[in-house]
Amino acid sequence: MKKIVSMTLALLLVLTVFTVSAAAESAASAQEEPDWTLPDTIEMTSTVTAMFNQAMEGLTGVSYEALAFLGEKDGTYCVLCRATAVYPDAKPGYALVYVNDTGVQNIWEIWMDKHANP
């Protein structure tokens, strides 16, 4: 059941992220930046997993568990993660983690209402 909820959440987040991204890119179309490439499946590939794991090495304070590969743009991968602060009884949340071959590029925490916590 948890896996179904996680996958449903991931799909909803993909739609939200890329709808907002598409709207923002439409507004900035004069810049002509390449679009995000959406994967055929949200499953983590070996390439994305290796890059994610390498980028997470040495990161302290929060543990990130990769749940889904959401897309790629110019060698940067967007990964939906379950994020848990490293302290006793910490409750997990979610984050979008952007990684490339140079490491973590950005982390966006996803705010959720108290009724939607995992």
Tell me: the pLDDT tens digits for 90-103?
888 999 999 999 99
Looking at per-residue confidence, does 54 or 87 come out higher? 54
What is the Cα–Cα distance from 9 to 3, expressed in whole angstroms?
10
What is the Cα–Cα distance from 73 to 25, expressed in whole angstroms?
13
State how many domains the chain has.
1
Which structural domain range is residue 30 located in? 2-116
83 near 57, Cβ under 8 Å? Answer: no
Among the listed residues 66, 64, 68, the one whose alpha carbon sits nearest the alpha carbon of residue 14? 68
List the 103-110 sheet strands across, edge first: 62-73, 76-85, 93-100, 103-110
Report pLDDT for 88: 87
Per-residue tokens: 98: 């952007």
Share of the chain above pLDDT 90, in %: 53
Helix H segments across the chain?
2-27, 46-56
Report pLDDT for 9: 54
pTM strictly above 0.75: no
Residue with tokens 């590029």: 105
Report the pLDDT averaged over residues 62-72: 96
